[in-house]
Amino acid sequence: MIKQKVADTIDQLGPSSLRSNPLAVVFILLAVVVIFSASQFPDDGQVGPGFFPILVALGIVVFSFADILTSTETDLEISEFSFRPPAIVLGLLVAYLLVMPFTGFLVGTMLYMPAILYYSGIRSKPLMAGLSIGLPILLFYIFARVFLIRLPEGIVPISRLLPQLPLVVIPGWL
């Protein structure tokens, strides 16, 4: 029974299923580029800065293949799809990446978050402020202080003003 299901799924996989899922194919191609690029990062034989991008890209590949294998024909026509919302989000993301060398990770993310949250329909000022300040600081501590991954500091290194967190190593866990 399982062999038959696998055989039927493989028979479904073909040029027509790839044409009906162009976004999944694009995600797979982008993920392969990310895997290749991240594998070039130095790792010194340990878990390095390329580990998380590779892990995320592998997840994208798995879910994209799952989408290709399980999707059915859709009635959505490309003419019905509005390209404006994704273009705005892409524009905000490109602007974020372009200003990050000048603003640094913390300030750049604190400026990007309210814009993307507002565009996403979140209008609560306390929620926007909490997410825009708290999430970048949390991500900074996780990546820069726990995983020791250098994040862009920008022209004014504001991240150096954040206090050091005392990390305790429990004896016997090393």
What does pTM read for this prediction? 0.58
Return the residue matching tokens 């524009």: 91
Q: Which residues contact 111 (CB under 8 A, 6 or more apart)?
A: 96, 99, 103
Angle at the Cα of 157 (from 122 to 162), degrees rounded to 5? 70
Q: At 35, which amino acid appears?
A: I
Q: How many CB atoms lie within 10 A of CB 17?
A: 18
For 94-147, the pLDDT digits (tens) are: 999 899 889 988 999 999 999 999 998 999 999 999 999 999 999 988 888 777
Give the residue with greater pLDDT, 110 vs 75. Answer: 110
Q: Which residues contact 144 (CB under 8 A, 6 or more apart)?
A: 150, 151, 159
Q: Which residues contact 149 (CB under 8 A, 6 or more apart)?
A: 49, 143
- Output the average pLDDT for the chain: 79
Residue 169's region, left for phi above 0, alpha for psi from -120 to 50, else beta, is beta
pLDDT band of 15, cuts 50, 70, 90: low
- At residue 133, the pLDDT reads 94
Contact (Cβ atoms closer than 8 angstroms) between residue 65 and residue 31: no
| Per-residue pLDDT at 171 exceeds 80 | no
